[in-house]
Amino acid sequence: MSQWGFYFDPDKCIGCHACSQACTVRNDIDEGDVTWRRVEHVGEGTFPDYEEISISMGCYHCAEPECRDVCPTHALEKRAEDGIVTIEQDRCIGCNYCSYACPYGAIQFGEDGLAQKCHGCLGSGAGDGHGSPPREESETARETPACVDNCVTGALDSGPINELLRGASTAAAEEFRSDDSGPAVVLEPATGTEGVSGDDG
Amino acid sequence: MDEDERSKVRRRTFLKGAAGALSVAAAGCVDRDSGAVAHAEAAHETAYNNCWICRASCGQEVTLEDGTAVDLTGVDGHPKASAGPGAEGTLCSKGLAQLDKTYNPNRITRPYIREDGELRSAEWDEAIAYAAERLESFREEHGPEKLLRYQGYPIGGEFHDLLFRDLYGAPIQVGRKTTCHGPFSDSWEWMAGYGREWPDWRNSEYMIAWGRNPMECFRGQWEPKGIMETIEENDATLVCIDPRYTKTAEVADRWIPIEPRTDGALALAMGHVIIEEGLHDEEFIEEWTYGFDAYREAVADKTPEWAAGITDVDAETIREVAIGFAEAAPRAVAFPFTGLSFQGNGFKNCQNVHALNGLVGNIDRKGGTRHWRAGFSLTDPFEERGIDVPANHEGRPTPDYDDYPYQRHIRDLSHNAVPTAVERGDIRGFVNNWSAPLKSGNSEAWADALEAMDLVITVDAFWSGVSRRADVVFPGASTLEQPFLATGGDSAYSESGWVTASDALIEPVGDCRTDYEIYSALATELGWGEYFPWEDAVEFYDEQLSGIGRSFEDIAERSYEIVADVKYEQWREHGFDTETGKFQFDLDVVDGYAALAEETDVSTAPEWHPPDDDLYGETTDEEYPLLLTDGFVQQLSRGHCQALDDAREEYLDRFGFRYEGYDGNLLHINPSDADPRGIETGDRVRVESPDGHVELVAHVYEGVRPGWLFAVSGFGAYSLAPDEAGANMMTMNTERHVEPVSGQVDRNLPVEVSRVGGETA
Amino acid sequence: MMDSPDGLVWLTQQEYGWYIAAYLFFSGLAGGAYVTGFAADVLRVRSTDPAVDRPMYSITRWGTVLALGAVGAGMVFLLVFHLGAPVRALLFPILFVNVGSWLVIGTWIIVLFSAVATLQGLWVVWHENPAGRAAFPRVVTSRIENRFDVPVDSWLARVASRTHPGPRRRLLCSGVGSALALSMIAYTGFKLGDVSATVPLWDGTLLPALFLASALSIGLAATVGVTVLFDGVEGTNVTAFSVADDVVILGEIAVLALFLTTLASGGPGAVSAFGLLTEEYGLVFWGGVVTVGLALPLAISVGLIALERRVDVHASDRLRRLVRGTYTLKFGFVVLGGVALRYLIIAAAYNAPLST
């Protein structure tokens, strides 16, 4: 199985929210409270030594998905062909257990009370991921997901993990390989700014 | 755990869902939203369009399903939407909210006319006839010179000008130099002779974004992409000078949170260092500049130590930046923009920064500041058809505003002077095209002025302080619904000029019409139909493009074309279009400015000019100890994205307010100012100035300089934010808040902040 | 987040609403009440004093009836308010296929418990003499029978007597029910604790222990409290039960203290949870959980014991009523403390932050 995943470089991310907006547009998400992808702005330090890092977050289609492990009905499944974790809307009972299991807050609930989340743009809209054919054979899946399609600086990428690893730095690749039960995301280290200028005064 | 250090977590409303739960649960086995279409069956096609949300013309690749636009992304290789040839095109979050804009249920989709004091919807014929009749009687009663023209981000701006300026004969308009960038562009125009400089980011090695936020507020994707690429490929240095930690600061090598409005001092000190180190471009200065002696004299005693005391920037830092900048030159650029333009003393600050570029000789050079041009011209369809367009606005009497320092030498009427002009009877009517003036300056006076006017006509998309006060509202079509043509200019192609075009992709929503349709119908009704002989804008654009041997369809099919070569160092061939034919450090040769300078006891050469509580901006004091500036962020463009739920939500999400039930703008305040006032994030606060007050919600964080406050503009009273959520800082702005050289609105107000009871929602 | 600039990614709180807290409360109450009823059952059988027969039986009845009522209430909160697709959940025998999920395990425990508790309810209410207020369902069914001529009451009595397995076996069956009751209490702790990596407040070991102690305490308090309220203090051995409750409360205090110290010395998420409990939600925690739910009951208990040592509480009507009222008050406080605790377990549940 060729795990499909994400690549993200926080040094390149400019926190513009194009990714989260693109996901919302492509998947026709109407409700303001539902965000399959979002940008976290993490601040550190006090003025003038203040810094921010922007992180684009969504579902990482983990190797051992916590959400799937706790789902009573197996509405959440990890596909065999590409490792994408999908939600079968017709099996979900809306118990919310999965959302507490996910360390990344990826699972969202719309007004219908059912779980929905990123499915790597195998389709567009909640529930479109489940049952979709492999990406290459699908008529509805996009080659690149909406978020990647519009990342202004190329901080976000997606594809088979092996390919992503090839394009990543050694540090990122090593970090990924050190834990094989975790999220399918190749993460570049955040080096932040070299130094901020400010006066003593 | 210390209370202060305890991390504040975010939460959705804990009791959320209680009310709606019963109805949801009763639905039982809920099927997923039936709106999700089975895509395999629907007709799926892609087509090109251009984005006009921030007016950059980024090429859009739109996915259509059964005649409805459902998805979009950028066009690969597009001069605005990509990093260059073969590069992937993207759209920013604002551009992606285009669907929200086009299909927004709050859009005005029918014409409205005012009858018996009330606005009511009308058919197009009726509205056009009514508008024409009112325009005719206006002209008879007052004369066309009393009709004010105002354009924001129009799609068919030339048709508005043709009708109202050339034919109707209205000579006065409010120029964007008085609402947007006067100090920046007026100074540059006098120094270098052309409208606006823009950096050649992609090739630069040392970039100073000075009161400029290119990672958030850009003229197309090419800017942030170009900057990131040069940082990676050329190991370029990015310096961000801004009292706010923006996303530009985030990727910059240095963030310099300068004391607001002291930029001019910093620039002089940098000049001092550069000359001291002998890093200035002697050859360029010798051959191509005027007034260097005055400049050298001006910076002679402006040491970094001197500047440090004023700017709160380390003397060492000033030296390092100056040297880094000069050593990288000519592939270096110091680029001031909105941050400085909004200052009461912004003109001199900009002049001082611009001078640095002349000093190191980076003007129109690779990696420096670039004189972007299209490099070709389009055909004039009127000329081609032998249509003699009159210039009925010329020679019409315009009022004398010599009591205003700037009105003597700026071309258009200053925004803040309009209410007085109305009071004096010099302006009695107003035609607005896709603009939101009530966020741009003295809102209260303007609102009164609009009500006092005899005739207000607007082409608009949302209800706002302007459209609600109009006599006629014409619902304009969005870019997805109209043809589009633009040429330029600044882009990912550093040495080329380009054209981009697109046709309408969907039927106009509701009863909306394209700009051309609106203006030609109005013109025809007024008896000028002969000047609008084209069937639609496509035909007009087609004829324009014949000048470069293309048809509209040619370009629209491919979204864009690179048309001409535009070399660097254009001044070698043509010189500088200034009084001396050279780059002018000293503006003593600019008569209008020289006269003003003498009158106000200011040097014509670069000089440090602090705010003086007189003409050049107001200072903080004990009663109003904090300085407030309003401006922009990536997620919201100017004054119209506030109407779009999608865009507003992304903005609020950025600052952790997605789930808070508050829909307006935030007041960003440093903890050292918030704590003594008992203000925490989420608290309602009252901002008070000598001229008024507003209320909004606070966001306390370390990313703004102590003593300084920031808020996003375009919210609150008179805005098109739903329910006018948030606060409009410009309701505290008055006529006197103006930069005296350019007439630009001064958006720096001394204020005090206090906590108001009650939570966000 | 920008306004807590510590370089950590603090995520938004998840979706459990107050109705889950209600469910936890009622399911805990059900378990504890049932176990209390069973304890009274055992005590009655082993006692040689005939005077305690009826009062003990009263407690058993109340325990069973309360357990059934509470389980029902819990189910209402779960199905009507919480689940997005509750009707679908009713298909659980075929739909709940993930036996590794505590939610599935818990569902079966609840179902089995409810079955056993229903049988017990049937036997202790419709088989024996309908004496004592605890048998109020009987009052209802006989009224229906008399008013509408539908033989509900007699039918139920007949089923009860037909199915009654004899006192010994009934006790045994009730024992099984108790085991299920304890499992029902504990599984909620394990279910939440299973995701303790994400939600540090839900400690995998201490939360089940806390739930167990708390549920037993509030179940006992509710059952005995209601008994005392309706059937008086005579022969109900209320003092013993009250002391038993005190012992459980002491155990709960110990677990809670351990819980707090574990949180306070944990990672940023755990520390934040500690802060939320003790400061932001301080009023509910210190006031509700600790004072009302733990300290006051103990204090009242000490007072009552001292009183009962000095004075014969059965001497006057006034004293009897005073004692009755005081016990009811004490038990009421315990139950309220239980409500407060469940509310906090949900309200203060935040994701552990991620580090950059």
Within a domain: C31: yes
Identify whether residues B503 and B641 lie together within a single domain.
no
| Total residues belonging to chain B | 761
Distance, in angstroms, between A69 CA and closest chain C CA?
A: 7
Domain end residue (candidates: B543, B563, B583): B563
Rounded to whole angstroms, how far apart are CA atoms B485 and B439?
28
| Residue in B with minimal Cα distance to A95 | B25
Interface contact flag, A140 B39, Cβ < 8 Å: yes
Identify whether residues B203 and B342 lie together within a single domain.
yes
* C94 close contact with A: CB closer than 8 A: no
- CATH (domain of B483): 3.40.50.740
Within a domain: B665: yes
Rounded to whole angstroms, how far apart are CA atoms A36 and A19?
10
pLDDT band per the 50, 70, 90 thresholds, residue B21: very low
* pTM: predicted TM-score of the whole model, two decimal places: 0.91
Within a domain: C1: no
Rounded to whole angstroms, how far apart are CA atoms C109 and C198?
25
Rounded to whole angstroms, how far apart are CA atoms B596 and B617?
16
For residue A114, list chain B residues with Cβ-Cβ distance below 8 A.
30, 32
The per-residue pLDDT for C229 is 82
Strands B237-241, B206-210: parallel, antiparallel or unpaired by DSSP? parallel
Residues 6+ apart with CB under 8 A from A91: A73, A74, A75, C88, C95
- Asked if A84 contacts A105 with a C-beta cutoff of 8 angstroms, the reply is no
Residue C276's domain comprises 13-355
- Asked if B263 contacts B278 with a C-beta cutoff of 8 angstroms, the reply is no
Rounded to whole angstroms, how far apart are CA atoms B70 and B91?
15
Identify whether residues B325 and B254 lie together within a single domain.
yes
The per-residue pLDDT for A178 is 87
Residues 6+ apart with CB under 8 A from C93: none
For residue C2, list chain B residues with Cβ-Cβ distance below 8 A.
655-656, 699, 701-703
Q: What angle do CA A126, A128, A129 make, to 5 degrees?
A: 105
For B247, the token pair is 């996303």
Rounded to whole angstroms, how far apart are CA atoms A44 and C7?
5
> From start to end of B58-117, where are the E strands?
59-65, 68-74, 112-115
**Residue A4 belongs to what H/E stretch?**
strand A4-8
The per-residue pLDDT for C337 is 96
The per-residue pLDDT for B409 is 61
The one-letter code for the residue type at B600 is: T
pLDDT digits (tens, 9 = 90+) for B463-498: 999 999 999 999 999 999 999 999 999 999 999 999
| Residue from C9, C45, C294 nearest C167 by CA | C45
The number of CA neighbours under 13 Å toward the Cβ of B740 is 24
Q: How far is CA B336 from CA B203, B368, B435, C107, in A?
A: 18, 13, 24, 65
Within a domain: C5: no
- Asked if B716 contacts B725 with a C-beta cutoff of 8 angstroms, the reply is yes
Radius of gyration for chain B, computed over Cα atoms and rounded to the nearest angstrom: 26
Domain spans in chain A, listed from the N-terminal domain onward: 4-187
For residue B317, list chain A residues with Cβ-Cβ distance below 8 A.
197
- CATH (domain of B294): 3.40.228.10
Rounded to whole angstroms, how far apart are CA atoms B237 and B51?
30
**C3, C79, C355: best mutation site toward chain B, by most B Cβ within 10 Å?**
C3
For residue A128, list chain B residues with Cβ-Cβ distance below 8 A.
36
pLDDT digits (tens, 9 = 90+) for A153-168: 999 999 999 999 999 9
Identify whether residues B446 and B496 lie together within a single domain.
yes
Q: How many helices (H) and strands (E) does chain A have?
A: 6, 9
Radius of gyration for chain A, computed over Cα atoms and rounded to the nearest angstrom: 18
Positions of chain C with pLDDT lower than 70, given as ranges: 1, 3, 15, 128-132, 233-236, 356
Identify whether residues B164 and B208 lie together within a single domain.
no
Given its phi and psi angles, is residue A17 left (phi above 0), alpha (psi -120 to 50 degrees) or beta?
A: left
Interface contact flag, B1 C271, Cβ < 8 Å: yes
The per-residue pLDDT for C239 is 81
The number of CA neighbours under 13 Å toward the Cβ of A86 is 26
- pLDDT over 90 percentage in chain B: 86
pLDDT digits (tens, 9 = 90+) for B206-237: 999 999 999 999 999 999 999 999 999 999 99
| Residue from C123, C201, C77, C10 nearest B656 by CA | C10
| Residue from A146, A155, A144 nearest A25 by CA | A146
Distance, in angstroms, between A72 CA and closest chain C CA?
A: 5
Q: Judging by beta carbons within 10 Å of its beta carbon (0-12, 13-18, 19+), is residue B509 exposed, middle or buried?
A: middle
Q: How far is CA A162 from CA A176, C202, C243, in A?
A: 11, 36, 65
pLDDT band per the 50, 70, 90 thresholds, residue B745: very high
Q: How far is CA C72 from CA B647, C26, C79, C110, C113, in A?
A: 45, 8, 10, 11, 12
What strand order describes the sheet that includes B484-488?
Answer: B484-488, B496-502, B560-565
Identify whether residues B648 and B742 lie together within a single domain.
yes
Interface contact flag, C1 B25, Cβ < 8 Å: no
- Asked if B258 contacts B272 with a C-beta cutoff of 8 angstroms, the reply is no
| Residue from B216, B174, B74, B242 nearest B637 by CA | B216
Residue linked to tokens 């309706």: C230
Count of domains observed in chain C: 1
For B274, the token pair is 């550069």
Interface contact flag, C81 B7, Cβ < 8 Å: no
pLDDT digits (tens, 9 = 90+) for A28-37: 998 888 999 9
Q: Which residues of B touch C (CB under 8 A)?
A: 1, 3, 5-12, 14-18, 21-22, 24-25, 28-30, 655-656, 658-659, 681, 699-703
The per-residue pLDDT for C39 is 93
pLDDT digits (tens, 9 = 90+) for C22-38: 999 999 999 999 999 99
Query: Measured between CB atoms, which of C3, C12, C264 is closest to B11?
Result: C12
| Total residues belonging to chain C | 356
| Residue from B224, B13, B253, B163 nearest B527 by CA | B163
Within a domain: B578: no
| Residue in C with minimal Cα distance to B246 | C2
The number of CA neighbours under 13 Å toward the Cβ of B119 is 17
Within a domain: C311: yes
The per-residue pLDDT for B538 is 96
The per-residue pLDDT for B26 is 31
With the CA atoms of B206, B563, B575 and B594 taken in that order, what torsion angle do they form, in degrees rounded to the nearest 10? -70
The per-residue pLDDT for A192 is 62
- Asked if A176 contacts A165 with a C-beta cutoff of 8 angstroms, the reply is yes
User: Which CATH number describes the domain made up of A4-187?
Assistant: 3.30.70.20
Residue linked to tokens 């693109």: A22
ipTM metric? 0.92
pLDDT of residue A53 exceeding 80 = yes
DSSP string for B588-652: TT-HHHHHHHHHTT--SS-------SSSS-PPP-SSS-EEEEEE-BTTB-TTTGGG-HHHHHHHH
- Asked if B545 contacts B378 with a C-beta cutoff of 8 angstroms, the reply is yes
pLDDT of residue B240 exceeding 50 = yes
Identify whether residues B294 and B326 lie together within a single domain.
yes
Distance, in angstroms, between A44 CA and closest chain B CA?
A: 9
Average confidence (pLDDT) over B89-108: 95
The per-residue pLDDT for B403 is 73
Residues 6+ apart with CB under 8 A from B535: none
Within a domain: B401: yes
For A53, the token pair is 């890092």
Identify whether residues B708 and B649 lie together within a single domain.
yes
Within a domain: C2: no
The one-letter code for the residue type at B276 is: E
Residues forming a β-bridge with B497: B564
pLDDT band per the 50, 70, 90 thresholds, residue A197: very low
Identify whether residues B736 and B673 lie together within a single domain.
yes
What strand order describes the sheet that includes B147-151?
Answer: B118-121, B112-115, B472-475, B455-460, B429-433, B147-151
With the CA atoms of B377, B381, B385 and B388 taken in that order, what torsion angle do they form, in degrees rounded to the nearest 10? -90
- CATH (domain of C123): 1.20.1630.10
Within a domain: B261: yes
- CATH (domain of B677): 2.40.40.20
Rounded to whole angstroms, how far apart are CA atoms B9 and C276?
10
Residues forming a β-bridge with A78: A85
pLDDT of residue A134 exceeding 50 = yes
DSSP string for C304-329: HHHHHHHS-TTS-HHHHHHHHHHHHH
Tell me, what DSSP letter sits at residue A134? P
Domain end residue (candidates: B542, B563, B584): B563
Largest CA distance in chain A: 63
Tell me, letter by letter, the H, E, C secondary structure of B261-307: CCHHHHHHHHHHHHHHCCCCCHHHHHHHEECHHHHHHHHCCCCHHHH
pLDDT of residue B761 exceeding 60 = no
Within a domain: B542: yes
pLDDT, chain B, mean = 91
Count of domains observed in chain B: 3
- Asked if B749 contacts B627 with a C-beta cutoff of 8 angstroms, the reply is yes
Phi and psi of B303, rounded to 5°? -75, 160
What strand order describes the sheet that includes A185-187?
Answer: A156-160, A4-8, A185-187
How many other β-carbons are positioned within 10 Å of the β-carbon of residue B610? 17
For residue B30, list chain C residues with Cβ-Cβ distance below 8 A.
84-85
Residues 6+ apart with CB under 8 A from B19: none
Residue B521's domain comprises 112-178+379-563
